[in-house]
């Protein structure tokens, strides 16, 4: 028996798409490959008639179910795993080199976790600020010219997901911490590291980006995130207590 990705747990997320036609074409590509969950974040233009024209009647159910959000952090809050797509490579963007490899990774992950595949805007792709929400990145290899139409990129990734299969049942993958749980953890961790002097309060983003990449490799569960948040709260408590004790000592002096 072969096992594939759990399609009902996969969502395509379009960040700041510029053209309604690309939203409709992406919906059509998803319909072709059996995916139904489309999330649209902060589109430049929302014109449902133009979206439906390119989606065609067949993909109307995908369009009917589109979820719209104003911000990426809100859109990704419920996902346990987020994959960003990128054409740019480099030290700050360690990537999986093909959607086929990604699909194999997502077979066990998608069984118990909601997975988001994130695509950036047509002109800029995903920004560094967008990438902080991603657990990993994937690149679609091309022959020199790396720029793909948004709907084309969606089709390639959706095809690889739909075609992926493993002959044996994959290893069990537990429910991972949701994006919103991780974001709360990172906020508390950043505050704690600033409080103990590990990070400069004026520019914490550099170190936090590295810390995010480190934790993303660990596939944290909700309980593990709770432990880290508990440690951060204890650091705050101890720091505040030491400060208050110092004021009392100076008052006595």
According to the model, what pLDDT value does residue 93 have?
A: 56
According to the model, what pLDDT value does residue 19 have?
A: 96
Per the listing, tokens 């520019």 go with: 203
The domain of 227 spans: 179-252
172, part of any domain: no
On whether both 39 and 80 belong to a single domain, the answer is yes
According to the model, what pLDDT value does residue 90 have?
A: 64
Domain boundary among 134, 163, 192: 163
Q: Mean pLDDT in runs of 10 for the chain (253 residues)?
A: 89 97 97 97 96 96 97 95 84 75 92 95 90 90 83 96 81 82 93 89 82 85 92 91 80 67
pTM of the predicted structure, to 2 decimals: 0.84
Dihedral angle sign, alpha carbons of residues 86, 90, 94, 98: positive
Q: What is the CATH number of the domain that holds 232?
A: 1.10.8.590
On whether both 224 and 127 belong to a single domain, the answer is no
Give, as one character, the DSSP assignment of residue 143.
S
Domain boundary among 100, 132, 163: 163
Q: How far apart are CA 191 and CA 169, in angstroms?
A: 42
On whether both 31 and 154 belong to a single domain, the answer is yes
Residues whose CB is less than 8 angstroms from the CB of residue 104 and which lie 6 or more positions away in sequence, other chains included:
164, 166
């Amino acid at each position: 028996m072969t096992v594939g990705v759990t399609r009902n747990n996969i969502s395509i997320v379009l960040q700041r798409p510029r053209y309604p036609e690309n939203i409709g074409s992406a919906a059509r590509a998803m319909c072709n490959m059996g995916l139904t969950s489309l999330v649209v974040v902060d589109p430049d233009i929302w014109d449902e008639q133009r979206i439906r024209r390119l989606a065609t009647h067949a993909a109307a159910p995908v369009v009917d179910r589109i979820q719209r959000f104003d911000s990426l952090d809100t859109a990704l809050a419920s996902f346990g795993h987020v994959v960003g797509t990128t054409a740019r490579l480099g030290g700050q963007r360690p990537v999986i080199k093909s959607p086929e490899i990604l699909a194999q990774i997502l077979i066990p992950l998608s069984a118990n976790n909601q997975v988001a595949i994130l695509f950036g805007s047509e002109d800029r792709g995903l920004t560094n600020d967008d990438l902080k929400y991603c657990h990993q990145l994937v690149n679609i290899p091309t022959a020199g010219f790396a720029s793909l139409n948004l709907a084309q990129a969606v089709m390639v990734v959706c095809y690889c997901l739909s075609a992926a299969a493993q002959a044996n049942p994959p290893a069990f993958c537990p429910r991972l911490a949701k994006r919103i749980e991780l974001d709360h953890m990172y906020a508390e961790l950043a505050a704690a590291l600033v409080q103990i002097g590990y990070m400069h309060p004026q520019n914490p983003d550099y170190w936090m980006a590295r810390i995010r990449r480190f934790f993303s490799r660990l596939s944290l569960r909700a309980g593990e995130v709770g432990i880290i948040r508990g440690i951060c709260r204890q650091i705050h408590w101890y720091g505040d207590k030491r400060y208050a004790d110092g004021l009392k000592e100076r008052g006595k002096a």
